[in-house]
Amino acid sequence: MSERISVFGTGYLGATHAAGMAELGHEVVGVDIDPEKVARLSRGELPFYEPGLPELVRKHVDSGRLRFTTDASVAAEFADVHFVGVGTPQKQGEYAADVSQVEAVIETLGPMLDRPATIFGKSTVPVGTAQRLADRLREIAPAGEDVYLGWNPEFLREGFAVEDTLRPDRIVLGVDRDRPGTVEEVARRVYADMLDRDTPFLVTDFATSELVKVSANAFLATKISFINAIAEVCEASGADVRDLADAIGHDERIGRKFLGAGLGFGGGCLPKDIRAFMARASELGVDQALMFLREVDGVNMRRREHAVTLADDLVGGLSGATVAVLGAAFKPNSDDIRDSPALDVAGTLHLRGAQVRVHDPEANANAARVWPTLTYVDDPIEACTGADLVIVATEWKQFRDLDPATVKAVVNEARIIDGRNCLPAQEWINAGWQYRGMGRHSQ
Ligand code: UDX
């Protein structure tokens, strides 16, 4: 059955969710306060890079099932189901999450709800937020008790956002303990297509649903920092962290995924979510429980410093050296440079006196806004031309596939740091390169 849906926020999460809901057959209106974004989306253009999403948005703008507006009252009039997918960034100067955008949606939409409606929060919020918003909604919505709130966290990965939205691993729904029924019924109608395919559907209380999201991200961050901590030990002892990860990853209880040692994690979610989680635990008086996340964060940040130190050693002093940094995005298939280890390393090298030439297939423009003093070029060979050192900082396929001989012909010195352990090391060594991986002392 087709539902009339609104989605507040048209960033990665909101735009993908809106297009995904249209693909499931619903009629969708996306709402954003940014008129420029709305205008572009209405023309089927995306303000960011996400594979497959422009096609999906265009398909449903054309089919008439997806439109965009800046006017919240259009959404309130049109839809009976509202999703909130706005950002919850780290607060400036502290670890806690800033939930003001979520609150602003509730304060704007709530007073417009004069008939029964269901709101699903998708944003990542500190535990306790959903209950507070549910109470607030009852106060400000004219329809009062007929307005329901559910918390429905989103687990999508950038680069796979469409796939993760249409075929999620699981659907989690947090409901108000006192009035659970209606929200679950509505969610079952909205996600009928996925539930028919036996997607696990877990209904919990509000607090659990909020914690599921941050716990999942904290676990992933911990797994990455675990292997990066082991990488430090490998470096000190002459062992190879990739072989080690392969060996421990065969144990099903451990698993090989997210054991990629390298420059560590970045992006709009993992770093800020673990910090917000620590801040919230502290407010709840259980800061000790999450003390280990401080170390997870610390290990992660040390990888960036390690790469810079390694670069300094290899070139015999960064001042005046020319360094090619391949990659600026926090991971491949994305133009997102938020908390990007690649860009952080590039910027630090520059501050230490190196001439830094950056190439990223999609993120050059975003990177140039944050670090205008670096040189950006349109192709990896151009970036490497005349370089004393090449650093692969984001594992784009284009970089993994580079031919060592072709790159060697243009550089000044054949030295490479594989910051993501993504290159065929032996091929580079055979071609005459001085190769350094992360946690791979032997090479
Ligand atoms: C993450 C979660 O995976 C997703 O479920 C959640 O909804 C949002 O946050 P995303 O930020 O898109 O998604 O990226 P992810 O693929 O998880 O990678 C995060 C970072 O970890 C990247 O910088 C990546 O390069 C790094 N990473 C990942 C590693 O350093 N090693 C690995 O083995 C895996």
DSSP string, 226-263: HHHHHHHHHHHHT-BHHHHHHHHHTSTTT-STT---SS
Q: Which helix (H) or strand (E) holds 174?
A: strand 171-175
Q: Do β-strands 117-121 and 147-151 pair in parallel, antiparallel, or remain unpaired?
A: parallel
- Residue 248 CA to residue 241 CA, distance in Å, equals 10
From the candidate CATH numbers 3.40.50.720, 3.40.50.10860, 3.90.110.10, 1.10.40.30, the one assigned to the domain spanning 4-199: 3.40.50.720
- Give 429-440 pLDDT, tens digit per residue: 999 999 999 999
* 348-353 long-range contacts, CB within 8 A, separation 24+: 348/304, 348/305, 348/308, 349/308, 349/311, 349/318, 349/323, 349/325, 350/374, 352/308, 352/312, 352/318, 352/319, 353/318, 353/319, 353/320, 353/321
Atom of ligand 1 nearest to the CA of 332: 25
The one-character DSSP state at 286 is -
Q: Which helix (H) or strand (E) holds 381?
A: helix 380-384
Residue identifier of the C-alpha nearest atom 22 of ligand 1: 265
pLDDT tops 60 at residue 442: no
Q: pLDDT band for position 71 (50/70/90)?
A: very high
pLDDT tops 80 at residue 441: no
Residue in the block written with tokens 């965009």: 68
pLDDT tops 60 at residue 132: yes
Mean of the per-residue pLDDT values for the chain?
97
Whole-number pLDDT of residue 177: 86
Determine contact, residues 110/142, Cβ cutoff 8 Å: no
Q: Is 220 in the pocket of ligand 1 (CB under 6 A)?
A: yes
Task: For the chain, give every residue range classified as CATH 3.40.50.720.
Answer: 4-199, 218-437
Whole-number pLDDT of residue 1: 79
- Residue 129 CA to residue 132 CA, distance in Å, equals 5
Residue identifier of the C-alpha nearest atom 7 of ligand 1: 155
Atom of ligand 1 nearest to the CA of 124: 7
Question: Residue range 85-109: average pLDDT?
Answer: 96
Cβ contacts of 359 within 8 Å, gap of 6 or more: 324, 325, 326, 327, 376, 377, 378, 379, 380, 382, 383
pLDDT tops 70 at residue 443: no
- Residue 147 CA to residue 270 CA, distance in Å, equals 32
Q: How many helices (H) and strands (E) would you count in the chain?
A: 19, 14
Q: Give the ranges where 79-205 is alpha helix by DSSP (H).
A: 100-109, 129-140, 161-166, 181-190, 192-196
Query: Exactly one of 234, 269, 384, 422 is catalytic; which is it?
Result: 269
pLDDT tops 80 at residue 109: yes
Q: Is 404 in the pocket of ligand 1 (CB under 6 A)?
A: no
Q: Do β-strands 171-175 and 147-151 pair in parallel, antiparallel, or remain unpaired?
A: antiparallel
Question: Residue range 200-227: average pLDDT?
Answer: 98
- Residue 367 CA to residue 364 CA, distance in Å, equals 5
- Burial group, residue 181, by CB count within 10 angstroms (0-12, 13-18, 19+): exposed
Q: pLDDT band for position 262 (50/70/90)?
A: very high
CA 265 / ligand 1 centre spacing (Å): 6
Q: Is 260 in the pocket of ligand 1 (CB under 6 A)?
A: yes
Which residue, 306, 300, 305, is CA-closest to 229? Answer: 300
Atom of ligand 1 nearest to the CA of 154: 7
Does the active-site annotation cover 269?
yes
Q: What's the fold here for domain 218-437?
A: Rossmann fold (3.40.50)
- Residue 200 CA to residue 129 CA, distance in Å, equals 25
Q: Do β-strands 27-31 and 66-69 pair in parallel, antiparallel, or remain unpaired?
A: parallel
Question: Residue range 68-95: average pLDDT?
Answer: 97
Q: Is 29 in the pocket of ligand 1 (CB under 6 A)?
A: no
Q: Which of 50, 123, 154, 224 to mutate to test the pocket of ligand 1 (most atoms within 8 A of CB)?
A: 224
Whole-number pLDDT of residue 351: 98
Question: Residue range 145-167: average pLDDT?
Answer: 96
Q: pLDDT band for position 284 (50/70/90)?
A: very high
The one-character DSSP state at 157 is P
